[in-house]
Amino acid sequence: MALPKIDLPLYELKLPSNDKKVQYRPFTVKEEKILLSAQQSKENDQIVMAIKQIVNNCLIDYSIDDLSLFDLEYLLINIRSKSIDNSVEFEIEDPDTQEKIKLKLLLDNVKVHRDENHTNKIQVDDTYTLFLKYPNIDNFIDVLNGSDISPEKTYDILLSCIDKLASADEVYNFKDFNAKQVNEFIESLHSDTTKKIKLFFDTMPKVRHEMLYTNSEGKEKTFTIQGTQSFFM
């Protein structure tokens, strides 16, 4: 006689990047082992691999490749909240006194912060609008590893985020064109357009949370949690 399979609850949330509703399940023992192994290794590559594997396992009928970096971070936080505990206790070192400060983070309080100047629509001229898509975690592995991004890597990230060019009558999907054609298009853009593209990256939504604490000298401080690894606790 085979052992019964235990049904897991399903949860739903809206992806911050596009408001699409996705379903996910909590961790099983299998994912907790992956999580603990990555935490203990303290290796950035292991952590990134674990994040991708855990979210991919728990996400229902949605490809991890379609998730922006901040979608992935937000999903990870929600999965962890429903699987282990909504609260995370950890220690930080105050930069002035070097004392250890204990903090408690409630994951429900962590939100995606949006810049009011952010847009993924870039007006190229009176006729055409350029639409950009958000980079995923693979685009930022070098950043997560603490490496400096080369100009070539920066350009590759830019190319991966160009989605389509549209006018009132036509739509050009960049996936339908080869690298040479896309390069020639990028090189033909006016500097004002490239500045707007840079602003897109500079103002992208971020999963971020600020926590207030008071050190032993009575100074009120703010500790900011941001980024995938910061929430991987």
Lowest-confidence segment of 28-37, 60-69, 88-97, 221-230 by average pLDDT: 221-230
Residues 48, 35: Cα–Cα separation, whole Å: 11
pLDDT of residue 30: 87
Residue 167 has pLDDT above 80, yes or no: yes
Sequence ranges of the domains in the chain: 11-113+206-231, 121-202
Summarize pLDDT for 83-114 with one digit per residue, the tens.
Answer: 888 888 889 999 999 999 999 999 888 899 99
Summarize pLDDT for 64-88 with one digit per residue, the tens.
Answer: 888 998 999 899 999 988 988 888 8
Task: Indicate the pLDDT class of residue 154, thresholds 50, 70 and 90.
Answer: confident
Residues 131, 160: Cα–Cα separation, whole Å: 12
pLDDT of residue 29: 86
**Residue 113 half-sphere exposure toward CB, CA atoms < 13 A:** 13
pLDDT of residue 232: 54
Contacts with 123 (C-beta within 8 Å, 6 or more apart), sequence order: 129, 130, 196
Residues 203, 54: Cα–Cα separation, whole Å: 28
Residue 141 has pLDDT above 70, yes or no: no
